[in-house]
Amino acid sequence: MGTFSSQNYLLFSFVFLVLTLGVYFWKFEKSAHTSREIVFIAIICALAVVGRIIFSAIPSVKPELFILILGAIVSGPETGFLMGTIIALTSNMYFGQGAWTPWQMFALGVIGLISGLMSNHQPKTWQLVIWGFLTGFIMGWIMDVYYIIGFVNPITVKSILTSIAASFYFDFVHAIFTGVLVLLVGQRWIKLFGSYKNKYDLFKE
């Protein structure tokens, strides 16, 4: 761990982000999108990062999943993945970079990608709540894999279950908080983001 310092992890994270951006903008150019979509992406990412920082004093109470889910539902899977990676990387400029950063980028990217698959289906509130709840655990399980690979020795069924059990409380709180936010204001935020999308004719196929 000593030779592969935080600067190396930061560089690796930036490489991962640049590759993601490269793929996205290659498709972006082919799809003839507008520059206003960049503004929308920046707004979603900024809201998620600021929300994570504001609630940083309360463990596992973070609104970034809620904001990412709704932003991705409006913008689609590719943009959802992109927003997830940006949110993880930029928020860790405040919280600190490390070996966990690429894993967080991947975790939030996957959640953004899957959320974006709902963009053409107008999900009901109960479906959004279930998905919001599950994302808290998906995020936690992916980070558990990082922890197990990096710090658990030997890796056995018992040690894996112990590691997952140790993080269960924090994952559960994150899941509940995200699900409750989606229940209370999810549809309202989707309408807000959707009206912005429709006004400026964004993210059209």
pLDDT tens column, 51-93: 999 998 888 899 999 999 999 999 999 889 889 999 998 999 8
Mean pLDDT throughout 137-142?
A: 95
- pLDDT, position 7: 55
Residues near 96 by beta carbon (within 8 Å), at least 6 away in sequence: 6
- pLDDT, position 4: 47
Q: Are 16 and 102 in contact (CB under 8 A)?
A: yes
Q: Which residue has the higher pLDDT, 185 or 147?
A: 185
Domain ranges, ordered by start, for the chain: 6-200
The residue with tokens 């979603």 is: 44
- The pTM of this model reads 0.86
How many other CB atoms sit within 10 Å of the CB of residue 6?
13
Distances (CA, A) of 194 to 63, 76, 105, 141, 143: 19, 12, 25, 31, 31
Q: Are 62 and 173 in contact (CB under 8 A)?
A: no
DSSP string, 35-52: THHHHHHHHHHHHHHHHH
Spelled out in words, what is the top-level CATH class assigned to the domain 6-200? mainly alpha
